[in-house]
Structure 1
Amino acid sequence: MVFSDYIVYVDESGDHGLVSINPQNPVFVLTFCVFRKDEYRISMVPAVQALKFKYWGHDGVILHGHEIRKSHGSFSILLNGNVRGQFIEDMNALIEAAPVVLIAAAIDKQRHVEHYQQPDNPYKIALTYCMERLQMFLNERHATGKTFIMVERRGQKEDADLELEFRRIADGGNQLGPMPHLDVRFMDKKHNSAGLQMADLLAYPIARHVIRPDQPNRAYERVEPKFRRSATGQVKGYGLKIFP
């Protein structure tokens, strides 16, 4: 089997439920982190490991944005202001240097239910938009061979539902037609994947930017240069799709 030069890691921010929408967090964001495999192997993985060795002496810690923000668990070391300041500086440097291309879809759930009598599942909508833009990205780079999309396991039913939706989209349920070279794989968090951890860290700043675009967001400023762009440098619609 021929494999492409790219691999994709996926994470999300917010939940995709429509029954009870949190007015403080009404947006669901799905983020695709696209890496060239050689850059991921040579640059990204060692950089993540180096950060962990520096602060914990081992690489068994899993970087998780929520725990970092709350200083929970292994990140209780961040309760020390000096340590936190240096860690955030190192995290920012890690993100700025990351050889990643971002593709994300943000679904404003409140506007979605207000605009449509039978609103579709936000995850389904976001997955379609991200897969379409990933396929266009691969086409632009004349990438051939199978490209794997790596998703963190959430539960047997949730994973089965996601895979079924993925297959439906890849078989032609999208605006581009069949995507036979895209495939999905599920990973346990215990695998300690640098790619999945980067996807987790990058999803939250995107969500905060979509919810409050006029509010200063230094984390998003570091993320924004990573988006896929049009030939003229446009992000919206190319690297970041906001719906509706």
Structure 2
Amino acid sequence: MSFSMYRLYVDEVGTDDMGAVENDDHRYLSLTGVAMTLEAARDDLGPKFNWVKSTIFEHDPDNPIIFHRRKIVQRKESFGALNDLRKADLFDRAMMKIIRQCDYTVITAIIDKLDASKRERWREKHPYHYLMQILVEKFARFLVRKDSFGDIMPEGRKGKKDAALQEAYETVRTQGNYYFPPEQICYRIPSQKLKFRYKQDNVAGLQLADLLAHPSHMYIRSTRGHPVSLGRYARQVATVLVQSKYDRSTTGKIHGYGIKFLP
């Protein structure tokens, strides 16, 4: 039997620092995973991103442009080209077309660190690592429904933080969690190691995760009544996510599948 191998590309919004959680700017942390088959990432997403880079920007193939939401918004470095309104319009239309048409599934887990810090059973949990454990479980469940297998590629943070995240990953593979047994996780996600990559590696899937993570984070918070404002781009992305990209049950339920808010 043939099957498509899935990869979960992971990006974060917020910090895992517990020192200033009363401040709304530091209170929430989310991890967004974008699940794609290797074929979709290689044969569809990658070439489409390269078309945008070569058509709109002065793209040096030996010094590739890396899509990074913050730099795009701030028009930094090569993205200064977007100060040209015609290029900006073409860029926006091309990127939204890619976001709508490419084949991928999104899972976002978000934690209120202030609320968690007040609950005894959460106080010893590292927020970043706990979110990764949730993401591993949700990805494994997704793979069960697809009757397939996968691996996980986070954007690395280097040094001790990557080592600690690898340890958290090994823990959930060994122990599972209350809702899902370790045997199923290990069967569906057989690799014992996270496949860390970095921005300079020019991984299309990680760049897509970067572009989706912040709009997903803000959309979820808006559904909880938080005083956040979604810009035009975030509203457009959120609409696509809700319509067709968030993971969901067979009956169309998104919460608990494509969206998990904690604690």
Q: Is the 8 A contact 1:29 1:126 kept in 2?
A: yes
* 2:89 is the counterpart of 1:88: no
Instruction: Report SS of the residue matched to 1:212.
Output: helix
* 2:255 is the counterpart of 1:236: yes
Write the distance in 1 (CA, Å) between the matches of 2:71 and 2:3. 35
Q: Is the 8 A contact 1:171 1:177 kept in 2?
A: no
How big is the alpha-carbon RMSD for the aligned residues of Structure 1 and Structure 2?
2.1
The counterpart of 1:167, out of the listed 166, 170, 184, is: 170
Give the drift of 1:26: 2.6
The counterpart of 1:123, out of the listed 125, 128, 153, is: 128
Show the counterpart of 1:132.
Answer: 137
Show the counterpart of 2:43.
Answer: 42
Instruction: Report SS of the residue matched to 2:87.
Output: helix
Give the drift of 1:122: 1.4
Q: Is the 8 A contact 2:3 2:148 kept in 1?
A: no
Show the counterpart of 1:19.
Answer: 19
* 2:148 is the counterpart of 1:143: yes
Show the counterpart of 1:77.
Answer: 81
Write the distance in 2 (CA, Å) between the matches of 1:125 and 1:171. 14
User: Could you tell me the percent identity over the aligned residues?
Assistant: 28
Give the drift of 1:188: 2.6
Structure 2 CA distance for partners of 1:186 and 1:236, relative to 1, 3 Å? same
Instruction: Report SS of the residue matched to 1:186.
Output: coil
Instruction: Report SS of the residue matched to 1:238.
Output: coil
Instruction: Report SS of the residue matched to 2:163.
Output: helix
Write the distance in 2 (CA, Å) between the matches of 1:15 and 1:126. 12
Show the counterpart of 1:64.
Answer: 68
Show the counterpart of 2:186.
Answer: 180
Letter in 2 for 1:160: A
Write the distance in 2 (CA, Å) between the matches of 1:20 and 1:44. 38
- Larger strand percent: 1
Q: Is the 8 A contact 2:108 2:260 kept in 1?
A: yes
Give the drift of 1:123: 1.0
Letter in 2 for 1:120: K
Give the drift of 1:187: 1.2
- Larger helix percent: 2
Instruction: Report SS of the residue matched to 1:180.
Output: helix
Instruction: Report SS of the residue matched to 1:235.
Output: coil
Instruction: Report SS of the residue matched to 2:196.
Output: strand
Structure 2 CA distance for partners of 1:161 and 1:4, relative to 1, 3 Å? farther
The counterpart of 2:155, out of the listed 147, 152, 155, is: 152
Write the distance in 2 (CA, Å) between the matches of 1:227 and 1:115. 29
* 2:6 is the counterpart of 1:6: yes
Letter in 2 for 1:61: I
The normalised TM-score by structure 1 is 0.91
Letter in 1 for 2:154: V
Q: Which 5+ residue runs of structure 1 have no aligned equivalent?
A: none
Instruction: Report SS of the residue matched to 2:253.
Output: coil
Write the distance in 1 (CA, Å) between the matches of 2:262 and 2:79. 34
Write the distance in 1 (CA, Å) between the matches of 2:3 and 2:29. 31
Instruction: Report SS of the residue matched to 2:66.
Output: coil
Write the distance in 2 (CA, Å) between the matches of 1:4 and 1:19. 43
* 2:231 is the counterpart of 1:219: no
Write the distance in 2 (CA, Å) between the matches of 1:115 and 1:71. 41
Structure 2 CA distance for partners of 1:106 and 1:218, relative to 1, 3 Å? same
Give the drift of 1:210: 2.3
Give the drift of 1:195: 0.5
Write the distance in 1 (CA, Å) between the matches of 2:43 and 2:85. 32
Instruction: Report SS of the residue matched to 2:24.
Output: coil
Instruction: Report SS of the residue matched to 1:103.
Output: strand
Q: Is the 8 A contact 2:20 2:26 kept in 1?
A: no
